[in-house]
Amino acid sequence: MAMEYRTSCRAYMVWNYRQEIEDLNRASEQGWQLVRGGCFHSRFVKNPDLRFRYQMDWRNVEDMGRYVETFREQGWEYINSTFNGWHYFRKFYDPALKEEDYEIVTDRESLLAMRRRWSRMLLALGAAVLVYTAVCGVRAVRTPNLPWLLQILLLLAVCVFLLRGGWLMRDPDAGPRGGRGLLRAYFLTLLLGWAAVLVLLHLRPHFVTNSQTEELTEPYVNERWMDFEVYYPDHYYLDLDLSADAPFTFSIVNDAGETVYTVTGTEIHEEHIRLWLGRRWYWFSSSCSGAFELNVRLD
C-alpha cells in the first residue's frame, strides 16, 4: 500500500514553539507522524498505528553526532534540524508517563539559556528596526507623504512584534501566546500594508523634465506643457532650476483652471517645494520673453 503524505504550511513565532509542539502531538494522535519539521512547512506521513510525543530544542551544535546520541540515550529519536537551529525529536507515547516526563530540557538553567539567547536576538532585531524607523521618521517630518507615513506605521508594527517576542522569551514558564488566527491576521495586515505602499509609490507622479531655448521668435504666454494626473491627494515635492534672460513665470495649473503654484524670476533654484495636490489633472504653464533653461522634478 502506498504511503499517504501531507504537507502542513504553518508559521510559528519562536515564543510560540510550545504551540508547535502541541500541534505535532495532536497530529500524532490523529495518525499523522512528522517526517520533517520546518520553519514554515512540515511533512507528515499517515500511520495511525503509532503515537509519539514531540519536543524541540534550539542551539548551535558543533558536534551533531554527540548531540543526537545524548538525546538518543534518553529515549529521544532525532528527526531533523532547520537552518535556523531548531532540532526536532520524538519518543513513543506512554500513557503511564506524566506530561512533564516528556520535557526534553529537564533542567531549568538549560531552558533559561535557550530562551535568553532568543530573547537577546529578538530584542536586538527590534532595536535595529526601531532605529531605522526613527531615521525614516526624520525624513517623513521633512517631507511628509502618505507612503512614508504608512511605511513608518508598518515598521512600528514589526518593531513592537519583535520586542514583544523578546520580552515573552524571558519568561521560561510562558505557554503558547496568541492563536494562529491572530498571527495570520498580523502577517496578512503586513502583507496588505506593504502592497499598499508599493501601489501608492507606483501611482505617484514621478518625473524629471526640462525645457530650454536660446531665443524666442515670440513670447510664451501661459504655454501649457507636461500634463500629469494625481491619483490621490497628498503632499508632493517640486524641485525647480531656472535660468532666464528675462522674467520667467512658471505655474502649475489644475483642470479647474486654478493655479496651485506659481513663481516668477530669472534665477530660481529651489528644492523640495511642498505642494498639496488633490486628485485631478494638472499641467505646467510658462510665460517668458527671452532665452531660458528650465529643469523640473516632481515626486
- Among the residue ranges 186-190, 235-239, 257-261, the one predicted with the least confidence is 186-190
- For the segment 198-214, the average pLDDT, to the nearest whole number, is 90
- For the segment 253-271, the average pLDDT, to the nearest whole number, is 94
Instruction: Provide CB contacts within 8 A for 170, sequence distance 6+.
Output: 115, 116, 119
CA-based nearest residue to 52, from 24, 72, 71: 24
- Domains of the chain and CATH, by start: 5-105 (no CATH), 109-203 (no CATH), 207-298 (2.60.120.380)
**Banded model confidence at residue 62, pLDDT cuts 50, 70, 90:** confident
pLDDT in tens, 153-163: 999 999 998 88
pLDDT of residue 176: 52
Hunting for cell 508547535 — which residue is that?
20
∠ at Cα 90 (89, 92), nearest 5°?
165
CA–CA gap between residue 225 and residue 56 (Å, rounded): 66
Residue 167 has pLDDT above 50, yes or no: yes
pLDDT in tens, 87-133: 999 999 988 887 777 777 645 566 677 778 888 888 999 999 999 99
Residue 180 has pLDDT above 70, yes or no: no
Question: Grid coordinates standing for 131?
Answer: 532605529
Question: Grid coordinates standing for 220?
Answer: 510664451
**Banded model confidence at residue 277, pLDDT cuts 50, 70, 90:** very high
Instruction: Provide CB contacts within 8 A for 30, sequence distance 6+.
Output: 48
pLDDT of residue 224: 92
| Pure H helices in the chain | 17-29, 64-73, 108-142, 146-168, 180-203
pLDDT of residue 212: 81
- For the segment 57-83, the average pLDDT, to the nearest whole number, is 87
- With pLDDT > 90 as the criterion, what percentage of the chain qualifies? 52
pLDDT of residue 181: 66
The mean pLDDT of the chain is 87
Q: Is the CB of residue 93 less than 8 Å from the CB of residue 53?
A: yes
pLDDT of residue 106: 47
Secondary structure (3-state) at 14 = helix
Instruction: Provide CB contacts within 8 A for 17, sequence distance 6+.
Output: 56, 58, 86
